[in-house]
Structure formats: structure tokens, C-alpha cells
């Protein structure tokens, strides 16, 4: 970096962590099915996220929930007037309970008051407003049966038994569970179907271990089951399966990209549009009745737009616009008048700040595979500088375009940020996904190193000033980076990453048992090849670590247990390796409470500045966090 550019970077105002990692001011709006109320999530006077409601056309906003600590993140309107539901766990343990709240009385009822049991919403239907279908592992911790819950009195009625391997359920227009997706012994999956609830399940289709698919939606008359699947194709397509003759018809497809979103009419079950996430989100409109709406919305405001809610009469929509250099903008859309009315942004304090654009990039890996990703450069810096390789979790997920708090934080502190959709990431078709099979810590990591080399060769980053950081699988990648390629990175930040793939599989929750087959196929089989898993586990290569490591962990994490971090921290201390460790007593797989986020990122920011030379905001006093530095 030249002296002029260093001055420019230093003059770029430091964005407070509170803005980047604090709670949103208002977010996730939803309109009641009758169009009378707008709900949204916002913090209360104790900075805990709650559900708020206002009467549309009035300024009568009122808080209708009273969560005491972690805050509410997922809620839905029911089709019963004045009733909302939301999911909440305890301290990040992921044993979610389903709660009902009356927005007039603020009375909250736990609809699934069973200790140690996890609830999953299966379906709501406008034709059955008094009921909800819920999956619960009440009888067997390893599998979820379906229960029918009465929203009037909270009565729980057993509905459908899980034979043991079903991992997802689909109800028809009569609110009967008639399709399911099940894991199979060959590490693939079966599409189950039954003509009526009185008849036995039959297998309509089998997907092998290198294929994906599942049920999406029944047509209104019950004759068509829409499914996703990549059989007979590289990418997942949307198909209409005629249940009368077994014939499949392609509804929407792309040769390279999987379907990534489906828009359905609120009452008729008509599939109206299908999304494909390429560098950015693109829509294929299937229903002419919304073509003009999509054309209008695409041109109305900048950014990627998504329909986030609709009334039952379908005259009013809520639309979100996602940008890379600002907040999410929410609008109410009047379909009749073809007008949008601004509601709010989720983080208004981001507006007017010097935020960095996110650029889609691609490069060719060492074996010829094209790798896609995103590059975020610090404002005012164009020559080689320090960089952070920010690795996504999953690993069967992907990074997308748009505002990301971590990326903006790092860029604002002076670092180039590279986010890589390495092989094994989802969305790019099964060939790309399967290229990651059995490549944890191997070719998946090679793709990351090839990304680092690309940064250096392009003159974007300084070779000796690159850190690696990530959560979950990204945390594992951080540990791999410091052990398997110790000369590449100047430092690493691991958030809830597994250090030993053997103990990872031994300690995951019992209800993940059907999904363990996926891990066995894609990561390695703990039963038959523990030595292979050991060879891909950073814990056993601590002696190779040369550079400092920072680890953040939630004590209640059910996926990556506290022991995953504890064991590598202890091993590093025993070997005299530089490690810092922060444990949060009331967190799970990630940091939900803003006090804990702010505490950890203050530590991480100073850590990165120490080893990369970037800017940092002094930690100051952060009240209310549960972090213990060990």
C-alpha cells in the first residue's frame, strides 16, 4: 500500500461495531393474511428482539412478545385472526418450542411444552385456520413424528408416525400429510407418497447418494406433486409429477444452477416464479398474471428484490430490496395501483456510510474447476494490502451477494475480503457439489488456497498479510489452514469450528441420525474409516501450527460441542502454541445475543490488527456479555 493510500484508508471513518453487529432497528416485516396488521421484529427497551405489531394505516406500534434474553428471530402469522406463532430455544440448545401469541391480549402459550423436545413447523393452511401441523421428536429423540395442534385450545393430537428415516413432511390441500422425504441405507433418499392417510407409504422415486431431490408442494386438486430433483440433469430442477400416471414434466430449470427459491400463489397453490441464484438472484416467471408486477418491481428500486409476504386476496405484497452497500429496504406494494410505499430499512444507520461494494469473481482451481466467489475491497485502497479469507459454513451452503456485516467490518478496518464458494458448496449443480465428496481438508481446502494465490497474483493482497476466518465449517477451515498449510496464513479466527471429525460425529444430536448418512458419504464414515477422518482432523496436527489462533465457542452448541474447541485449545497450550479462547455460556452454534457478538468481534478486531496491521476500534466497556476468556 502506498503512503497516499494508507492515508486514504486511515481517513475512511471507522464504522462502530455497534452499527455492524448490533441488533437491527426493525426487520422481517410480515403482513397479516387479512391485510389489517403489519408485524416486524425490533428490540425492546432492554435491547432484546421482540415481535411488534401495528395496525396498517395507524401509528399504534406495540410490542406483543416478551422474550427475556435471546430475542425472537423466526415468527409467522397464522390464518387465525390476531394470532402469531414463533419458535424459541433456550440458550442456543436448538430444542425449539413453538409459541402462540394473541396480539390483542399479548397472552403467550407454549404449544409444545415438552422438555428436551424440538418442534418443527410442518404446515399452515388458510383453509384450516384453527390448526397447525408440527414435527416433534417426542416419542423418539432420533425422529420427528407429525402432530396436529389446535390453535384454539392448544390440544396436541398425534397425526403421522415416522418409521424412523423420514426427515421432511409435505401436506396436501386437505391438510393431510401425504408425501415425505426419507434417508436410505445407501446414503441416498426416497420420495414417499400415500394416496390417503389410511394407505401405506409407497416409494415414488429414489435418489442415490450423489443426487438430491424432494417434495415441494401438492397441487390444489392433489393430482400433481411438485418436486425438486437433479436426476437426469446436473442441476436441481422443478418438476411436476403426475400422481395418476407417474409422468414428470419440467417446470423450471437451468443447466448450471439449482433452483433456489419458489414463489407460490397464497391460495391456489399455483407456482408463479422460480429463483436461480447465480452471481446474483434471477427469477423465472411462470405465471403471466405476475409478469407485470415483476417487471415493475425490478425497475422500481436498486438491488435484488424478493417478495417477503402477501395477503390472501393477493392485492398487497411486502417486498425487500437487498443491496451490497447498505441496509435492506422494505416496501409495501399495491398491485392494483402499481405503486410502492417505503416502510423502513433494517439498519438505517448504515445509510450514508462509506460501505464497500461486493464484486462477484471467479477463478480456475489447480485441477481446472471454475470456482466462484465474492470480493470486497476497502474503500480507497486499490493496491496490495492485507486480506481475510472469510469461509462460509455448511459446508453444504454458499455465499451470496449483498450486504454482509462481517465483510463490511473487515473492509472498513482495511482488509480485502474474499469469500469463496469452494467445491462442495450448494447451488452450482450436483457435479460441483459431488466434487467436494471426501475432500474436507483436501481439495475443498485447495480451492481456498487457490483463491489466496489468485489474490496475490492479481496484486490485490500481500502474500504475508492474509488471515483465514469462518464459522462452523468455516471454523474447521480456519483450523485446517493453520495446521495443513501453516505457511500460508498470518493468523486464524475460528468460530464454533470442529477440530476432530471423529468426535464431531460422536456428539451430534440424536435427531441428526438420518443425516449422519450424508456425512458418511460426503465427509467419511466413522464406523469403517476412523483413520481417514483422523487424517482430516486438525486436532492431530497441532504441532504444525506456526501462527496465532483465536477461537470463539458457545457452551450450549448442540452441533459442534464445546469440547471441539476445548480439546484443540488444550493441545495448543500443551505444545506452547499461540491461542486465545473465548467461551460464551449462553450461546449455541453462533452468537445470537448482540452483547456477545460485540464482545467477540472487539476481541477479533484487535487480534487481526495485531497480526495484519489493520485499524481497530478500542474494545471499551461491553455490558451484558457472557464471554469468558480462557
Active centre residues (catalytic) = 472, 557, 589
Runs of H (alpha helix) within 342-472: 405-412, 430-434, 443-457
Measure CA 553 to chain center. 18
Q: How many Å apart are CA 565 and CA 494, to the nearest integer?
A: 9
416 near 500, Cβ under 8 Å? no
DSSP 236-293: -EEEEEETTT--EEEEE--SSS-EEEEEE-TTT--EEEEEEESSSEEEEE--GGGHHH
Owner of C-alpha cell 429423540: 141
Cell of 613: 496491521
End-to-end alpha-carbon separation of the chain, Å? 36
Q: Which helix (H) or strand (E) holds 364?
A: strand 358-364
Cβ burial, residue 531 (10 Å; 0-12/13-18/19+): exposed
Phi, psi for 18 (deg, rounded to 5): -55, -35
Residue 45: CB partners within 8 Å, gap ≥ 6?
A: none
User: Which distant-in-sequence residues (6+ apart) come within 8 Å of 313 by Cβ?
Assistant: 35
- C-alpha neighbours within 13 Å on the C-beta side of residue 242: 7
Q: What is the rounded distance in angstroms from the CA atom of residue 92 to the CA atom of residue 555?
A: 9
Cα 211 versus chain centre, distance: 22
For CA atoms 310, 316, 318, 319, the dihedral sign is positive
473-484 helix and 443-457 helix, angle to the nearest 10 degrees: 70
Q: In what order do the strands lie in the sheet with 37-43?
A: 27-31, 37-43, 49-55, 62-63
The owner of cell 398491485 is 335
**Cell numbers for 629:** 476468556
Is residue 482 classed exposed, middle or buried when 0-12, 13-18 and 19+ CB atoms within 10 A define those classes? buried
Tell me: cis bond preceding 395? Omega within 30 of 0 counts. Answer: yes
Calculate Rg over the CA atoms of the chain: 25
Amino acid at each position: 500500500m502506498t503512503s497516499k493510500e494508507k492515508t486514504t484508508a486511515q481517513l475512511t471513518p471507522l464504522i462502530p461495531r455497534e452499527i455492524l453487529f448490533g441488533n437491527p432497528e426493525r426487520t422481517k416485516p410480515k403482513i397479516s393474511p387479512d391485510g389489517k396488521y403489519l408485524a416486524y421484529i425490533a428490540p425492546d427497551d432492554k435491547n432484546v428482539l421482540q415481535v411488534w405489531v401495528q395496525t396498517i394505516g395507524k401509528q399504534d406500534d406495540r410490542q406483543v412478545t416478551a422474550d427475556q434474553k435471546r430475542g425472537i428471530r423466526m415468527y409467522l402469522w397464522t390464518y387465525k385472526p390476531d394470532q402469531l406463532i414463533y419458535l424459541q430455544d433456550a440458550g442456543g440448545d436448538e430444542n425449539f418450542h413453538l409459541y402462540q401469541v394473541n396480539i390483542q391480549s399479548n397472552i403467550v402459550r407454549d404449544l409444545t411444552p415438552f422438555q428436551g423436545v424440538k418442534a418443527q413447523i410442518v404446515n399452515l393452511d388458510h383453509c384450516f385456520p384453527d390448526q397447525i401441523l408440527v414435527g416433534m421428536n417426542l416419542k423418539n429423540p432420533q425422529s420427528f413424528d407429525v402432530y396436529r395442534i389446535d390453535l384454539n385450545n392448544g390440544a396436541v393430537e398425534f397425526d403421522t408416525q415416522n418409521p424412523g428415516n423420514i426427515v421432511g413432511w409435505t401436506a396436501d390441500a386437505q391438510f393431510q400429510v401425504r408425501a415425505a422425504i426419507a434417508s436410505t441405507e445407501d446414503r441416498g433418499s426416497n420420495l414417499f407418497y400415500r394416496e390417503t392417510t389410511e394407505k401405506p407409504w409407497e416409494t415414488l422415486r429414489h435418489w442415490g447418494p450423489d443426487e438430491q431431490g424432494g417434495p415441494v408442494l401438492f397441487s390444489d386438486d392433489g393430482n400433481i406433486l411438485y418436486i425438486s430433483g437433479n436426476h437426469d440433469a446436473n442441476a436441481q430442477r422443478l418438476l411436476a409429477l403426475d400422481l395418476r400416471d407417474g409422468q414428470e414434466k419440467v417446470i423450471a430449470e437451468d443447466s448450471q444452477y439449482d433452483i433456489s427459491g419458489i414463489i407460490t400463489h397464497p391460495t391456489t397453490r399455483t407456482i408463479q416464479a422460480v429463483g436461480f441464484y447465480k452471481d446474483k438472484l434471477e427469477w423465472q416467471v411462470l405465471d403471466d398474471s405476475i409478469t407485470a408486477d415483476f417487471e415493475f418491481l425490478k425497475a422500481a428500486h436498486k438491488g435484488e428484490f424478493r417478495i417477503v409476504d402477501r395477503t390472501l386476496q393477493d392485492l398487497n405484497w411486502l417486498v425487500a430490496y437487498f443491496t451490497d452497500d447498505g441496509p435492506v429496504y422494505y416496501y409495501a406494494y399495491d398491485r392494483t395501483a402499481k405503486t410502492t410505499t417505503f416502510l423502513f430499512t433494517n439498519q438505517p444507520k448504515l445509510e450514508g456510510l462509506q460501505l464497500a461494494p461486493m464484486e462477484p469473481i471467479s477463478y480456475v482451481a489447480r485441477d481446472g474447476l471454475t470456482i466462484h466467489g465474492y470480493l470486497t475491497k476497502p474503500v480507497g485502497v486499490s493496491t496490495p494490502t492485507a486480506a481475510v479469507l472469510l469461509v462460509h459454513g455448511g459446508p453444504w451452503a454458499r455465499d451470496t451477494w449483498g450486504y454482509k456485516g462481517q465483510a463490511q467490518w473487515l473492509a472498513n478496518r482495511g482488509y480485502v475480503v474474499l469469500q469463496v464458494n469452494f467445491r462442495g458448496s450448494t447451488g452450482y449443480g450436483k457435479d460441483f457439489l459431488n466434487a467436494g465428496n471426501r475432500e474436507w481438508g483436501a481439495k475443498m481446502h485447495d480451492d481456498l488456497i487457490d483463491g489466496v494465490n489468485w489474490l496475490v497474483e492479481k496484486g490485490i493482497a500481500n502474500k504475508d498479510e492474509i488471515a483465514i476466518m469462518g464459522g462452523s465449517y468455516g471454523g474447521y477451515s480456519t483450523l485446517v489452514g493453520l495446521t495443513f498449510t501453516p505457511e500460508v496464513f498470518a493468523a486464524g479466527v475460528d468460530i464454533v469450528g470442529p477440530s476432530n471429525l471423529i468426535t464431531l460425529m460422536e456428539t451430534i444430536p440424536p435427531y441428526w441420525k438420518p443425516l449422519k448418512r450424508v456425512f458418511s458419504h460426503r465427509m467419511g464414515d466413522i464406523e469403517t474409516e476412523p483413520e481417514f477422518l483422523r487424517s482430516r482432523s486438525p486436532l492431530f496436527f497441532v504441532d504444525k501450527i506456526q501462527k496465532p489462533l483465536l477461537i470463539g465457542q458457545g457452551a450450549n452448541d448442540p452441533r459442534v460441542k464445546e469440547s471441539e474447541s476445548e480439546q484443540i485449545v488444550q493441545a495448543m497450550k500443551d505444545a506452547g502454541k499461540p491461542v486465545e479462547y473465548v467461551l460464551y455460556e449462553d450461546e449455541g452454534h453462533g452468537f445470537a445475543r448482540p452483547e456477545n457478538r460485540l464482545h467477540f468481534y472487539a476481541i477479533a478486531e484487535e487480534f487481526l490488527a495485531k497480526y495484519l496491521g489493520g485499524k481497530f476500534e478500542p474494545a471499551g466497556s461491553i455490558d451484558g456479555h457472557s464471554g469468558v476468556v480462557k
